[in-house]
Amino acid sequence: MLKMLPTGLLAGLPAFSGSACAAGLVPGFRGMPRIATGGIASECSTYSRIRSRMGDFTVLRGQEVFGAPLSLPLLRYEVPFLPTLEASAPPGGPVERGTYETLKAEYLERLRQLLPLDGVYLAMHGALSVEGMDDAEGDWYAATRSVVGPDCLLSAYYDLHGNLSRRAVDTLDALSAYRTAPHVDRVENVMRAADMLTHCLRYGLRPGIVWASIPALLPGEQSSTEWEPGRRLWADLSEYNRLPGILDVSQLVGYVWADEPRAAASVVVTGTDAGAQKRVATELAGRYWAARHEFRFGSPTGTIEECLSRAMGLKTHPVVISDSGDNPGGGGNSDQTFFLQALLKAGTRDVLLGGMTDRPATDACYRAGVGGQLPLSIGATLDSVMCRPVHVKKAVVKHLTAVTRPEDGEAVVEFDGITATLSARRRLYHAAEAFRDIGVDPAQFRIVVLKCGYLHPTMKALASPALMALSPGAIDQDIVHIGNHRRRPTWPWVADLAYEPAPYVSARFGRR
């Protein structure tokens, strides 16, 4: 019971307890603990034919780690965090196996050089997919454990759209995930994961995870916490932190576009009282399951043709339509041409098409220069199987961004009543500023088509109205249509699935 008291107090403790320690509010450490930080993060659709390779990763080594905005909070702790390697890649397809193994080997070597360690803070995402591997994060944790030994505490930072495995739960000691979508609580999430580590090391606590896997998956664009039921389901999670024996409560939507056995929603409760944690996990998992039918998209939806037809019949502007299946922010390619084909077929004019990735077309625009006219093949350069390129007889180059590397190039072209952005690499064109920076005002167009899901606030403010096309792509939001092949029986593919929460207690509890 004595050990349980401080855990329930975690929610009320100052995160940066150096001054609190000096003021006598919390005890000092018994010897300064050694905590490493490292990790690998990406969101990988197994439906994508793109592969993430080394060149796609941003790799921060040693002190470079603290150059990342999300690592800055770690510098404010009384305990120094010892950096190893943090690798992150934009959402996309699975990671090439050799790239993953190279990054893991360097991370483990850097970890080895820091031994002995009392804790490791792991900056992860939870939806990493690696060629030939079903549980990449579990592999990373098992490798970490093999280096740091059985007594070191591992605390992981997760996205809301992460998947978990029994191996991950049996290897980690603590986990925290975002509680908002769109994710506006990133800094808080860093601190929740880091607080658990420093708190447990300060008080000599041995935490563990209780995990309730929920066999229900949602398209990502339904998982917003800005409207119901997401709003209420995540709103009160922090209240559970105050219960004795509970350190942190997370609820994950899971990542639906990973067709692998671990893909599922889940509730994760970290604490020191497995009984109390099981009660919370059971309650929250049951509540989530009961609400699964309520999840909705935030905008009216339809096929590409339905959305286009509706937009053309409206008097308001700009009608903003999400090309949601090809959204690079969630793992889509951003080179698919289904929407462009439909626009040309319908003869729609006064349209802004934002976010097409095409390196050869972008390079060709730079060769032609601003004002140049040229024939263009647009799209399907990253995945030529899913769709075909569109051939434009005459495009006029309206803008070229000044860049020093061709891979950063971006162009604006006009053809057939359509203004389109082209970029050499996959990047987001979600905010109104992204267009204004390249001399395009989305407010002036009748129809704006974006390779995105739910709208960025600046675009939402413009939209009159917003529509979401459930378009084909690597993150097709019509998830029933993509089928379930390797996941366990899961709602909604099994419409009458029965489920009773049965929380799993991490094997880490057994070693205390």
Nearest distance from C-beta of residue 297 to Zn ion, angstroms: 16
CB burial readout 329-352, b (16+ within 10 A) else e: bbbbbbbbbbbbbbbbeeebeebb
Q: What is the DSSP letter of 315?
A: S
Q: Which is nearer to Zn ion, 134 or 221 (CB)?
A: 221
Scanning the structure block, which residue is given the tokens 């307890």? 17
Separation of first and last alpha carbons in the chain = 15
* HEC-encoded secondary structure of 167-184: HHHHHCCEEEECCCCCCC
Nearest distance from C-beta of residue 15 to Zn ion, angstroms: 23
Query: Judged by CB under 5 A, which stretch of 153-161, 359-367, 380-388, 499-507 contacts Zn ion?
Result: 153-161
Q: Which is nearer to Zn ion, 68 or 443 (CB)?
A: 68
Q: Are 506 and 213 in contact (CB under 8 A)?
A: no
Q: What is the DSSP letter of 46?
A: T
Query: Judged by CB under 5 A, which stretch of 156-164, 280-288, 407-415, 443-451 contacts Zn ion?
Result: 156-164
Which residues, numbered 30-69, are part of the site for Zn ion (CB under 5 A)?
A: none
Distance of CA 450 to the CA centre of its chain: 19
Query: Judged by CB under 5 A, which stretch of 152-160, 239-247, 287-295, 386-394 contacts Zn ion?
Result: 152-160
The number of residues making up the chain comes to 512
Neighbours of 15 (CB within 10 A): 17
Q: What does the alpha-carbon distance between residue 143 and residue 396 come to, in Å, rounded to a whole number?
A: 53
Nearest distance from C-beta of residue 158 to Zn ion, angstroms: 9
Nearest distance from C-beta of residue 474 to Zn ion, angstroms: 15
Query: Judged by CB under 5 A, which stretch of 157-165, 314-322, 353-361, 373-381 contacts Zn ion?
Result: 157-165
The strand order across the sheet containing 153-158 reads: 58-61, 81-88, 35-41, 119-123, 153-158, 174-177
Q: Which is nearer to Zn ion, 91 or 503 (CB)?
A: 91
Q: Which is nearer to Zn ion, 161 or 430 (CB)?
A: 161
Nearest distance from C-beta of residue 136 to Zn ion, angstroms: 16
Q: What is the DSSP letter of 476?
A: -
The mark string for 80-119 relative to Zn ion (x by CB under 5 A, - otherwise) is ----------------------------------------
Q: In 52-117, which residue ranges form alpha helices assigned H by DSSP? A: 97-113
Nearest distance from C-beta of residue 261 to Zn ion, angstroms: 21
Q: Residues binding Zn ion: what is the number (CB under 5 A)?
A: 3
Q: Are 224 and 298 in contact (CB under 8 A)?
A: yes
Nearest distance from C-beta of residue 501 to Zn ion, angstroms: 23
Q: What does the alpha-carbon distance between residue 474 and residue 497 come to, in Å, rounded to a whole number?
A: 26
Q: Are 336 and 325 in contact (CB under 8 A)?
A: yes
Which residues, numbered 379-438, are part of the site for Zn ion (CB under 5 A)?
A: none
Q: Which is nearer to Zn ion, 193 or 411 (CB)?
A: 193
Nearest distance from C-beta of residue 223 to Zn ion, angstroms: 8
Q: Which is nearer to Zn ion, 110 or 161 (CB)?
A: 161
Query: Judged by CB under 5 A, which stretch of 154-162, 266-274, 308-316, 397-405 contacts Zn ion?
Result: 154-162
Q: What does the alpha-carbon distance between residue 100 and residue 110 come to, in Å, rounded to a whole number?
A: 15
Q: Which is nearer to Zn ion, 159 or 221 (CB)?
A: 159
The mark string for 335-354 relative to Zn ion (x by CB under 5 A, - otherwise) is --------------------
Q: Which is nearer to Zn ion, 118 or 159 (CB)?
A: 159
Which residues, numbered 158-197, are part of the site for Zn ion (CB under 5 A)?
A: 159-161
Query: Coil, helix or strand for 235?
Result: helix
Q: Which is nearer to Zn ion, 180 or 458 (CB)?
A: 180
Q: Are 311 and 352 in contact (CB under 8 A)?
A: no
- Give the footprint of Zn ion on this chain (CB under 5 A): 159-161
